[in-house]
Each structure stands twice: as C-alpha cells, then as structure tokens.
Amino acid sequence: MSQMFEPFTAACVQLNSGTNVDKNIADTSALVRDAAKQGASYVQTPEMTTILHQNRKALMQAISPQDNNSAISAFSKLANELNIWLHIGSMAVELPKAEVPTDKSPQIANRGFLFGPDGRIAASYDKIHMFDVDLDNGESWRESALYRPGETAMMADLEFGAKPVRLGMAICYDVRFAHLFRTYAQNGALVLGTPAAFTKQTGEAHWHILQRARAIEHGAFMISAAQAGLHEDGRETFGHSMIVDPWGTILAQSNGTDAGVITAKIDPQQAIDARKKIPALVNDRTFQLCTNSAIQAT
C-alpha cells in the first residue's frame, strides 16, 4: 500500500514591519507563537520580515550578514522550541564583501529562510525577480539597485508523517513569473510559498488573481504571508495574506491593514486529486514558434 500524505495546519503571519530590527523580531516571534498555539506546524512570515526601510544607508547600517545575524539566531531557536517548520519569508541579508565586486554592485540579498523543527536552516532562497517598476500613482521601485537577484530556484521537503510534502519557495514579485511555479510543480511541489510585500496599488489590482491563478494552473496550495498597512518608512502595503487550495478556493485571508495570524488545514492529497482531474502538468507540451513572412518583413 502506498504511503499517504498527512494533513497539517499552515499559518500565515501578517506583519506591519518597521525600521527597528529588534522590534520586528519580537513582534514576529509573538505572532509565530500564536500560530503554533493554534496548531500550525508550518508557519510563514512575509517578505522583509525583519525590516522595511527605504533609506539605503540606514538599511545597510541595520542589517547583518548571514553568519552573524541576531534574527537568524532568534528564529532558529523559535522553530526548535515550538517544533515547527518556520518559513521566514525574507530578510535583507548583507552579502560578504567577496561577493560584491564593486562599490556600485548590490550589497544585499533578499533571502528567505526555512527553519526545520530542529532549528537548522533547511533551505534558503534569494529572490530571483527584482521589482523594477514605475506605477501610475508616481511610485517607482528599483530593487535591482540595492539587491542582488538570485539565480537558483529552491524546493524543500516538509516532513509530516511518513511522506514529505514538497515546498517551492518564491518571494513577492516572483508570483508574476509563472514558469518558476511551473518548474516547481513539474518537480513535485504540492505547496507554493510566496511571502510578499505587495504595494497597495498593485495588490488591489492583481493580488487575488495572481494567487488563485498560480494555484489553479499548477494544482497546488498557495501560501502567501503579506506585509500590511502604512509602514514607518512611508510605504503602504496591501496585506490580505492568503491560503488558496489547488482548486483556487481561498481557504483563509487576512485584512489589508493589521498584523495577525490566519490558519488553514492543508491536505496534500487534494493537490494530487486536482492534478488527476485536470492533468495540465502532464498535458503540457513544448512547441515551436513561427512568424509569417509578412510579420517578418515589418
């Protein structure tokens, strides 16, 4: 008899992170504890959990490298104490000087961490797609000026019972690049983790659609913890942390302004069943792209 997946409870911790790293660690830890009390064995926090700061100099002064980092130490101990999988959506991590070729090169990684119940880092992921955009309301963002883009997609096996559940890791803007999620799903990921800090404008227009679309396309659970509300550095984020099932049904959702916790029961077998009903991953085909001579002439 084949082994069955064991259902588990997942939680999204919604935050309103500020500019003080220590306060953000404390606020996050309190909400993670709340999630664990509600029975969650996988807890996810948003992008930029430990600091949101638009001032480059102040940000560089506040952050630390991975090998000497108070937040990593705190979250490692917390995961071990609570015996949970703790997915810190991302942190600004100072890169080693050897990885910064010039003074003008990006000096920071936007890095997510997955801590196992033993407190060890089970996986880490650097955000691949940089949010370089100009919005109608005058907002302009150039993540590539500050952050080094990642080059490696990352999956991890969450051990619940006898059969592990595969997680694909992404961050915020990555959600607009469906091929990343397709790659994860084609390689066994049943859960897609997309912690975020969506702007209010882009969130109002696209957040719900993107979350449900990625879930439906790939027959997978989308778990997306978000930053919310007006932040100390002046930005406003959309919130609405969300857990979506493989059929596109929203299982749990936060509001758009407040920190807090949402939970939902995850039965990985539902992803398997959804993929049997609509086997899009199996039916997917490669194809050639051609243009006619008239188009080529123009």
> Of 8, 3, 26, which is closest to residue 75 (Cα–Cα)?
26
264 within domain boundaries: yes
| Residues 6+ away with beta carbon under 8 Å from 246 | 215, 216, 218, 219, 220, 221, 270, 271, 273, 274, 275
CATH code of the domain containing 271: 3.60.110.10
Give catalytic residues, as residue numbers: 47, 127, 172
Question: Which tokens is 268 given?
Answer: 């990985």
Domain count, the chain: 1
Q: Give pLDDT, residue 83.
A: 99
16 within domain boundaries: yes
2 within domain boundaries: no
201 within domain boundaries: yes
Q: Which domain holds residue 190?
A: 8-297
266 within domain boundaries: yes
23 within domain boundaries: yes
Q: What is the pTM of this model?
A: 0.95
pLDDT per residue rounded down to tens, the chain (298 residues):
456 899 999 999 999 999 999 999 999 999 999 999 999 999 999 999 999 998 989 999 999 999 999 999 999 999 999 999 999 999 999 999 888 877 677 799 999 999 999 999 999 999 999 999 998 887 888 999 999 999 999 999 999 988 999 999 999 999 999 999 999 999 999 999 999 999 999 999 999 999 999 999 999 999 999 999 999 999 999 999 999 999 999 999 999 999 999 999 999 999 999 999 999 999 999 999 998 876 655 5
Residue 114 contacts residue 122 (beta carbons within 8 Å): yes
Q: Give pLDDT, residue 280.
A: 96
1 within domain boundaries: no
Q: Give pLDDT, residue 1.
A: 44
230 within domain boundaries: yes
Q: Give pLDDT, residue 129.
A: 98
